[in-house]
Amino acid sequence: MTADPADLLVLAEKTAREAGDLVRDKREAVERMAVAGTKSTPTDVVTESDTAAEALIRSRLFATRPDDGFLGEEDGSVIGSSGVDWVVDPIDGTVNYLYGIPQYAVSIAAQIDGVVRAGVVHNPASGETWTAVAGGGAWLDGRQVRVSACASLSLALVGTGFGYDAVRRARQAAVLLEVVPAVRDIRRAGAAALDLCAVATGRLDAYYERGLNPWDLAAGGLIAAEAGAVVGGLRGAPAGNDLAMAATPGVAAELTALLERLGADRD
Ligand code: IPD
């Protein structure tokens, strides 16, 4: 049976809100959040909320759609048989969450036959929820959103982020040194999914980052594209781990050329 992306979005949004309530309530219950473990480096942390939220999301999605696949940040993957795969970050912006900075999100995307068709990014601290279905535009709390009209890289507010590995970060900082004088200013807000939604909403004119994982990118990438952003990688590649960029069309070519010249897709 063919899955309807609109139905998948309804399930994704309901689930993201429930998981968002869980992580926000857990954060508000303590003054200092504990680190439950680390992943790729000692600064790549996981809290008990990441694990609890992913478990909740899994159980809700599988209760309704038991044959789907699942790729989550915290607990590995499940291979499904329905053609639908969920790509989930239970808390994008975990370091912000740890420090009590209200810039983190639950991100849930639904892929059909490997292509992202529906996505939701929910910031439980602000209450904002971005949604998109492929071909249906991008929406923030029921209001359609569009990218900015910025037409020059020199006037663009550009978001970016850094990986957790020190060598990678040093290289990203070297690239940034060349980007800063070419743009209006830089923002490093700390949650890739929300950065992509910021481009969708005109709060940023562009965003780029090297090293994103599928769960950072899936839902926010669809939302940015549906809001009119150019979403891709460098040298003709799709957006992915090497480099992900989302930019309003007026600055996309200039930013792509700059990042290609700087080798922003290489360590
Ligand atoms: C991280 C955030 C951050 C980005 C990192 C991501 P996490 O995701 O999105 O903004 O710079 O590359 O790994 O670890 O908080 O889910």
Q: Is 20 helix (H, G, I), strand (E, B) or coil?
A: helix
Query: Ligand 1 atom closest to Cα of 50?
Result: 16
Q: Whose structure tokens read 């007026």?
A: 250
190 Cα–ligand 1 center, Å: 6
List of domains in the chain: 5-145 (3.30.540.10), 153-262 (3.40.190.80)
Q: Region 175-181: what's the mean pLDDT?
A: 98
- Among 22-31, 109-118, 151-160, 251-260, which is the least confidently predicted range? 22-31
Mutating to test ligand 1, I would choose from 216, 217, 245 the residue with most ligand atoms within 8 A of its C-beta, which is: 216
Query: Ligand 1 atom closest to Cα of 92?
Result: 16
Report the distance separating Cα 109 and Cα 112, nearest Å. 10
Q: Region 79-84: what's the mean pLDDT?
A: 97
For the residues of 90-142, what is the DSSP string, one character each?
A: EEESHHHHHHT-S--EEEEEEEETTEEEEEEEE-TTT--EEEEETTS-EEETT
2 Cα–ligand 1 center, Å: 33
pLDDT in tens, 200-252: 999 999 999 999 999 999 999 999 999 999 999 999 999 999 999 999 999 99
**pTM of the complete model:** 0.97
Q: Region 137-141: what's the mean pLDDT?
A: 98
92 Cα–ligand 1 center, Å: 6
35 Cα–ligand 1 center, Å: 16
Report the distance separating Cα 16 and Cα 120, nearest Å. 7
Query: Ligand 1 atom closest to Cα of 192?
Result: 9
Q: Identify the burial level of 135 via C-beta atoms within 10 angstroms of its C-beta, where 0-12 means exposed, 13-18 middle and 19 or more buried.
A: exposed
Q: Region 87-115: what's the mean pLDDT?
A: 97
Kindly report the backbone phi and psi dihedral angles of residue 190, in degrees, each rounded to the nearest multiple of 5, phi listed first. 100, 10
| Residues within 6 Å of ligand 1 by CB | 73, 89, 92-94, 161-163, 190-192, 209, 211-212, 216
At 45 the pLDDT is 87
104 Cα–ligand 1 center, Å: 10
pLDDT in tens, 238-262: 999 999 999 999 999 999 999 999 9
At 8 the pLDDT is 98
91 Cα–ligand 1 center, Å: 9
